[in-house]
Amino acid sequence: MTGQATTAGDGPARQLWPLARRAGQAALVPALAIFTALILGAILIWLTTGSLATALAAYGGLWEGALGSPRALAGTLVRSTPYIFTGLAVALAFKCGLFNIGAEGQLALGAVCAAWVGYRFQMPGLLHVPLTILAGIAGGFLWGMVPGILKARTGAHEVITTIMMNYLALQIVQILLSGPLKDPRSVASQTPALAPTSWLPMLIPSLQLHSGVLLAVLVAIAVWWFLGRTIWGFELRTVGVNPAAARYAGMSVARNVVGAMALSGALAGLAGVVEVAGVALDVTTVTPTGNRYFGLGFSSGYGFDSIAVALLGRGNPFGVIGAALLFGGLRAGATRMQFNTQVPGEIISVIQALILLLIAADVIVRRLYRLRAATADEAQPALTSGWGEKVA
């Protein structure tokens, strides 16, 4: 026990340093997990191709495809955007103690609603873009709310219901795209093209970099602010950490569960919005701006990967941005890697799976790098008597 003063100063420097240190500690295991997964991935490529050079070339291609040029960087950002939204969706639900496995379905519903508002209505962009975004939010919100209500009312576990509702959502979308919402001029199951007034503005048109990435960062900040600074976020977190204490303190566990699932769904819905109203399809020299529509080929996988993104980001909104950039970069770089070295792009999925595995079983990482066990402090008994001073 040291003889230091018991009241800490309030200087900004004193506040910032522990904050930075905590962020560093939180990022340590994920960073080591990524590093380890990349090494294991390289070994896998080496073993399957029989050449270490191929493995290195593959990673070179990955780097080049993800970060090697302005165009590559833009591609990474575009692919990271939906990951940020779905990662935030899972992270927010997780803060309320809920495992939302349904981001994929919520994303699809958000996308279909955004697409409908986008092609069905004609209005100035100043109105059309926000309405399209709101439609996507509403679709995800309502779809996410359902498992929340089921949980609050009947106790049905949200893992089961959200998984089931993914299938429901994908079937509903299929019916809509091949029937009521189908573009009559197209043979494919897809919606009519969205009106350009509903498109997300481009940040750098030549690189197809749309403004969704800005929206995603703003939303991440909003989620952080909501969770940490509002009374609703306080309630939601309390229910997540200790529902018994939340109830004791007068909070409604049911209302927070429904609210958290709905908000989580809304965030996943935003991922649908940026995919539909942001990503340019059919880009040719004749139509350099491309088209925007929602088609059946749209099986994103962004929803499923979101669990990994949220875990890698440690449930922290800014951590989620980092994890999303990694996953987006891997996706963006995979094409170049395959083109350069014939190493199948699927190796990316293997690396992602390894990262997730190492995050989930972080004991492996800690052993490997001789890190102090995370629970060492908690495992210890209370070290003070009623009159002592707790020393961390």
Partner 1 sequence: MADHEALDSADTRHFALEAREVTKRFSGVLANDRVSFAVAPGEVHALLGENGAGKSTLMNILYGLYTPDEGEILVGGEPARFGNPSDAIARGIGMVHQHFMLIPPLTVTENIMLGNESRRGRLLDRATAAARITELSRRYGLDVDPQATVADLSVGAQQRVEILKAFYRDARVLILDEPTAVLTPQEADDLFAIMRGLRAEGKSLIFITHKLREVLAIADRITVLRGGRVVGQARAADVTEHDLARLMVGRSVALYERDGTAGGAGPSEAGPVEEGAVAVALGLSEVAPEHAVAPPAATAAAPLLRVEGLTVRAIGGTDRPALDAVSFTIAPGEIFGIAGVEGNGQTELAAALTGLRRADGDYAWLGDREITGRAPRELIAAGVAHIPEDRQKDGLVLPYSIGDNLVLSTYRQSPFARGILLRIGPIRDFARRLIDAFDIRAGRGGADLPAGNLSGGNQQKVIIARELSRPIRFLVAAQPTRGLDVGSIEFIHAQLVAQRAEGRAILLISAELDELLALADRIGVLYRGRLVATLPRAEATWERLGLLMAGGE
Question: Which one of residues 138, 251, 261, 347 is an interface residue with partner 1 (CB under 8 A)?
Answer: 251
Considering the rule CB under 8 A, would residue 389 count as an interface residue with partner 1? Answer: yes
- Per CB under 8 A, the segment of 47-55, 211-219, 246-254, 351-359 that binds partner 1 is 246-254
Comparison of 6 and 284: residue with beta carbon closer to partner 1 = 6
CB of 12 to partner 1, least distance (A): 14
State the minimum distance, in angstroms, from the CB of residue 265 to partner 1.
21
Count of chain residues binding partner 1 (CB under 8 A)? 38
Considering the complex, state which of residue 286 and residue 391 has its C-beta at the smaller distance from partner 1.
391
Given the complex with partner 1, which of 119 and 226 has the nearer CB atom?
226
| Residue 6 binds partner 1, judged by CB under 8 A | yes
Q: How far apart are CA 242 and CA 253, in angstroms?
A: 10
Nearest CA-CA partner of 340 in 54, 86, 37:
54
Closest CA to 324 of 216, 177, 247: 216
The least CB distance from residue 9 to partner 1, in Å, is: 11
At 38, is the secondary structure helix, strand, or coil? helix
Alpha-carbon distance of 386 to 31, in angstroms, equals 40
Q: Tell me if 390 contacts partner 1 by CB under 8 A.
A: yes
- What's the first-to-final CA gap in the chain, in angstroms? 10
- Here's the x/- map for partner 1, 252-281, by CB under 8 A: it reads as x-----------------------------
The DSSP annotation for 304-362 comes to HHHHHHHHHTTT-HHHHHHHHHHHHHHHHHHHHHHHHH---TTHHHHHHHHHHHHHHTH
d(CA 266, CA 111): 11
How is residue 193 annotated by DSSP?
P
Of 6-14, 41-49, 278-286, 316-324, which part binds partner 1 (CB under 8 A)?
6-14
Question: Which listed residue (197, 247, 345, 371) binds partner 1 by CB under 8 A?
Answer: 247
Give the one residue of 11, 124, 179, 386 binding partner 1; rule: CB under 8 A: 386
Using the 8-state DSSP alphabet, how is residue 196 labeled?
G
State the nearest-atom distance from the C-beta of 390 to partner 1, in Å.
5
Among 179, 244, 370, 375, binds partner 1 (CB under 8 A): 244
Cα dist from 385 to 224, 261, 377, whole Å = 37, 42, 17
Report in angstroms the alpha-carbon separations of 81 from 24, 116, 147, 269: 24, 21, 25, 12
Please state the closest distance from residue 22 (CB atom) to partner 1, in A: 12
d(CA 130, CA 1): 57
Binding to partner 1 in span 324-383, by CB under 8 A: 377-378, 380-383
Single residue of 155, 184, 250, 297 touching partner 1 by CB under 8 A: 250
Residues 111-140 close enough to bind partner 1 by CB under 8 A:
none
Backbone angles phi, psi at 51, to 5 degrees: -140, 125
Each residue 202-241 as x (binds partner 1 by CB under 8 A) or -, in order, gives ---------------------------xxxx-x---x--x
Single out the residue of 48, 242, 287, 342 in contact with partner 1 (rule: CB under 8 A).
242
Q: List Cβ neighbours of 344 (8 Å cut-off, separation of 6 or more).
A: 338
Strand-pair partners of 190? 295
11 part of the interface to partner 1, by CB under 8 A: no
Question: Measured from the CB atom, is 95 or 182 closer to partner 1?
Answer: 95
> Shortest gap between Cβ of 242 and partner 1 (angstroms)?
5
CA neighbours closer than 13 Å in the CB half-sphere of residue 123? 11
Residue 285 touches partner 1, criterion: CB under 8 A: no
Q: Please tell me the total number of residues recorded for the chain in this structure.
A: 392
Write out the residues near partner 1 by the rule CB under 8 A. 1, 4-8, 229-232, 234, 238, 241-242, 244-252, 377-378, 380-392
